[in-house]
Every structure is written in C-alpha cells, then in structure tokens.
Amino acid sequence: MDLDSRLRQAIKNNRIEMYYQPILDLETKQIVGAEALMRWEDEKLGFIPPDEFILLAEKNGLIHRLGEIAISQACYHAAHWQSIAPIKISINFSSVQFRYCDTLLAQIKKGLKSSGLAANKLDIEVTESLLFNHNDEVVSLLEDLRRQGVELTIDDFGTGYSALSYLQKFPFDKLKIDRSFLIDIDQNASNRELVSAIIAMAKALNIRIVAEGVETKWHTEYLLQRGCDYGQGYYFSKPLPADEFEVLLTHSR
C-alpha cells in the first residue's frame, strides 16, 4: 500500500493523534499554553514524520480533513484542561488550509462550539508564506477570528520570505522565533544578535514573543534577559500524548 492510501486508512481508523508540548512563561515558569502537534503512527512503518505526511496531505487534499481532526481533538482536550489551568491551545495551520476560508472558519467554529472552549483560549499558528501571496479573503478570515478573541501567532519566524511590512498590516498577537536561530546561540554571535533584534522588533510592535527549540538552561536565561515572553522546547518537555501532558500540567500546579 502506498503512503497516500495508508494515510486515508489512518484517518478512517482514528490513528491520527494530537501530541501537546507545553509553552511556559519564562519569568514565572508556569505552563501558559500548549502547542498541538499531529502524530501518525502507522502499524508497519511506525511514526511517520509530520513534515512528510502533511506535505503529502497538502498535495492530495487530505489536509482539510487533517485540519478538522486537529481542531476537534485539540479543542476537546484544551476545554477539559481548563479545570486544571487556564491554558491556551496553539494549532498549526498550513497555507493550503486557507484555500477554502469558509470551510476553515466553519471547522474552527464547530471545534469551539462542540468542545465549549472559549475563543480566547485558542491560538492559531500560521507561517509567513500565508501572507506572502495573501488575498483579501484570508485577511478578513484572520480579522474575523481575532474579533472573536482567537489569538494569532506567526510561526517559524525568520525562515520564510520575511517581508516585515506584514507585521504592521496584520493583527498578530505573537511571534514565534524559529528554533533554527537557537540551535548554536551560545556559540554563534550572529544568531545571538538576530534573536535579540527579533525580540526588540516584536516588542516595539507590541507583539509578544515565543522562542521554540529551548533546549538548555542557558537558552532560557538568555531569552529571559533579552525580554522574550514565552519558551517552548525539550528543556521543558517534548511533545506528549494528551494523558501524559495532563499529568505534567496537574503536577505543575
């Protein structure tokens, strides 16, 4: 069976599962959110890397169905976790999912409604590429969501065609610094200056900053000292299945 058919089967058999990676307030060290990350474990092939199957799904159209699964699972879990802590849930959306804005809006509304999750607990992560070739429909969808209280985050910041003008044109709440900038930051002075500059720029625009790929104590201290708001990475926790994330969240309180 080819990967395409396997993915169809996996969707049918509920083999697509969301994992959750905590996002911490760097100052208080409290978990303030979680990023939902999609996982597919094939019976024969094991875990298929998300980069691989999401690219495939973007090509064969299954991405819209995967998006629906991500929204419904993540909203369901996040609604349940509100009784433990008032955390936000971040969901990734690829630009292809914005090709059908009506469908996407309907999926998000349904996810919120059927889970009972408040819109202000939902955070939507999009990449710079969405804005590179944007159309008016995308802009009004983002504005519509934001009016309802949904947060917008620009993901993988600094890796795409960064036309900085969009940061002023679009109403982003947060900016996520791509983890590639942090990898060797303790030794690479130019990456260090880049991270510093990104944080300063976001602050000037009143956008909060998340650093991903936080792997060491050094990272957390550097980021905190530079005024970065939130951190996410293996230093705190890898992405976890919902039940394991729930244990972590419970014990962190």
Nearer Cβ to ligand G (53/81): 53
Residue 47 engages ligand G in binding (rule: CB under 6 A):
yes
Please tell me whether residue 39 binds ligand G under the rule CB under 6 A.
Answer: yes
Where does this chain bind Mn ion (CB under 5 A)? 92, 125, 155
Nearer to ligand G, 149 or 241 (CB): 241
Amino acid code (one letter) for 90 = S
String of b and e for 99-116 (b: at least 16 CB within 10 Å)? bebeebeebbeebbeebe
Site for ligand G in 66-105 (CB under 6 A): 70, 92-94
CA–CA dist 107, 65 (Å, integer): 10
Place of tokens 């395409």: 4
| Residue with smaller CB distance to ligand G, 73 or 249 | 73
User: Which of ligand G, Na ion, Mn ion, none does residue 37 bind (CB under 5 to 8 Å by kind)?
Assistant: ligand G
Helix and strand tally (H, E) in the chain?
10, 10
Rg of the chain over CA atoms, in angstroms? 18
Q: Is 161 in the site for ligand G (CB under 6 A)?
A: no
Binding site for Na ion (CB under 5 A): 155-156
Q: What angle do CA 102, 120, 105 make, to 5 degrees?
A: 5
List of residues contacting ligand G (CB under 6 A):
21, 37-39, 47, 49-51, 54, 70, 92-94, 155-156, 179, 212-215, 233-234, 238-239
